[in-house]
Amino acid sequence: MEIAATAPALLSQRTAPSRPPRSRGRHLPMVVKLAYRNLFHDRLSFFVTIVGILFSVVLVAIQSGIYLGSANKIATIIDAAPADLWVVPLGTKSLDDPSFLSGRERYMALSVPGVADSEDMIVSFARWRKPLGGETTVLLIGTEANSPKALPTNIIAGSIGALDAPNTVAIDRSYFNDLGVSKLDDHAEINGTAVKLVAITKRVRSFTTLPFVFTSLDEARQLSGANQEQATYQRVSLLPGADIETVRKDIATRLPDTEVLTQAEFRTRSQDYWLKQTGAGAALDAGKLLGLIVGIVIVAQTLYSSTKDHINEFATLRALGAGAGYIVKVILIQAVLSGLIGYVLGMALALAAIHFAQDTKLTIIMTAPLAAQLFAITIGMCIFAAISAIIKVVRIDPAVVFSR
């Protein structure tokens, strides 16, 4: 339906105020009708617009989900093994940037007033030799088996208690192909020592390509070549009511060659190192920006073309008394309707992709706040894209109606 056909109706509404008002529950406002019919008038242009918005939503949603998933993966071990304070070697960039402490840190930490406990934790690079040949590097993690903060978590086969036995390990199911194993009781070698798989986890994966391999604290020390007093990190727990800053200063004074970090500080430091200092986060941000640019360009081009094709009809409305603001509303409603449809379809596709990626090495997370932000970004993108069409329509000279 051409917009010109609706112009007399608009004029009659403005010049006949005595007519009883119609129920808005049964009849849409004329401005919404104009936007709806104008949007769907050219089906091909409408399809192109929706595809552009859909692509933009999917790209931004996936890139944002990967960013959030990457941040969570970087902090996987820190979140699974929480502590009030972490004592780490001086200059540690992230949890998977390990080096050994001297060996006296646990006792020094326990001697500080306000400290309830301090647990050793080993994190070390190691060589994994596959059963059928070939080697790969893994990240070996060892904790006290009888600790309530013992690792690993989310075990789906075997048990954490089985790690008490010598030469036993646990790995995630997603690393079977990388490590050349396929089931419980399979054997391999770590740094030349034979080990047996006794526990399997699900979705406990590292941000880097290095698989996590979990074992007991004593076994980790033996496999990594550390002495019986050494650890990579100390996980310090405080007594109820202890002031964390006071305890931290006391520990730092007694251990000058270490850093004492809170749980949040160590988590943030690890995430910042991988997402900001290495450039990984910048690559994900570039992908999100690309998606926004694509969406804006396609929506802007479509709305501008639609406005240009119906320029005479818009001029007719102006000649019949419709203000520029009224026509701007038509264009903005078109943009919002496009954004709504594109967002719903794009988010549905993105959620499907996230679902199928759950058991892969690629972790993509979608949360309600992130979905709400994406919705606001999508609508804002479409409104911004409508600027070119709005500039065109506010410059219409109603006199062009009489020149035809």
**HEC letters along 358-401:** CCCCCCCCCCHHHHHHHHHHHHHHHHHHCHHHHHHHHCCCHHHH
Q: What is the DSSP letter of 276?
A: I
Listed residue (36, 21, 1, 23) closest to 337, CA to CA? 36
| Least confident stretch, 32-41, 44-53, 126-135, 391-400 | 391-400
The alpha carbon of 96 is separated from its chain's Cα centroid by a whole number of angstroms, namely 21
Would the pLDDT of 313 be above 50? yes
- Joined tokens for residue 200: 């399997």
Task: Tell the residue number behind the tokens 């690559």, with chain if given.
Answer: 283
CA angle 44, 48, 51 (to 5 degrees): 135
Which alpha helices (H) appear in 16-74, and where do they start and end? 30-41, 43-74
Q: Which residue has the higher pLDDT, 24 or 119?
A: 119
pLDDT of residue 221: 95
Q: Are strands 193-201 and 187-190 parallel, antiparallel or unpaired?
A: antiparallel
pLDDT of residue 20: 42
**pTM, full prediction:** 0.76
Would the pLDDT of 9 be above 50? no
Q: What is the DSSP letter of 211?
A: P
Integer CA distances (angstroms), 393 to 292, 301, 321, in order = 24, 14, 15
Nearest 5°: phi and psi at 140? Answer: -85, 130
pLDDT of residue 28: 63
CB 381 within 8 A of CB 292: yes
CB 77 within 8 A of CB 210: no
Query: For residues 29 and 23, what is the distance between their CA atoms, to the nearest angstrom?
Result: 10
Instruction: Provide the β-strand partners of residue 262.
Output: 85
DSSP string, 35-47: HHHHHHHSHHHHH
Would the pLDDT of 328 be above 90? no
Would the pLDDT of 137 be above 70? yes
pLDDT, mean of residues 17-23: 44
Query: For residues 349 and 374, what is the distance between their CA atoms, to the nearest angstrom?
Result: 14
Query: For residues 226 and 101, what is the distance between their CA atoms, to the nearest angstrom?
Result: 10
Q: What is the pLDDT of residues 241-268, one digit of tens each?
A: 999 999 999 999 999 989 999 999 999 9
| Least confident stretch, 51-60, 184-193, 384-393 | 384-393
Q: What is the pLDDT of residues 195-229, one digit of tens each?
A: 999 999 998 989 888 999 999 999 999 999 999 88
CA angle 334, 374, 308 (to 5 degrees): 25
pLDDT bucket at 12, cuts 50 / 70 / 90: very low
Q: Which residue has the higher pLDDT, 330 or 345?
A: 345
Q: Which residue has the higher pLDDT, 337 or 252?
A: 252
pLDDT of residue 404: 54
Q: What is the pLDDT of residues 32-89, one digit of tens each?
A: 877 777 677 777 777 877 888 888 888 888 888 888 888 999 999 999 989 999 999 9
Instruction: Provide the β-strand partners of residue 194.
Output: 189
Q: What is the pLDDT of residues 142-180, one digit of tens each?
A: 998 888 889 999 999 999 999 999 999 999 999 999 999
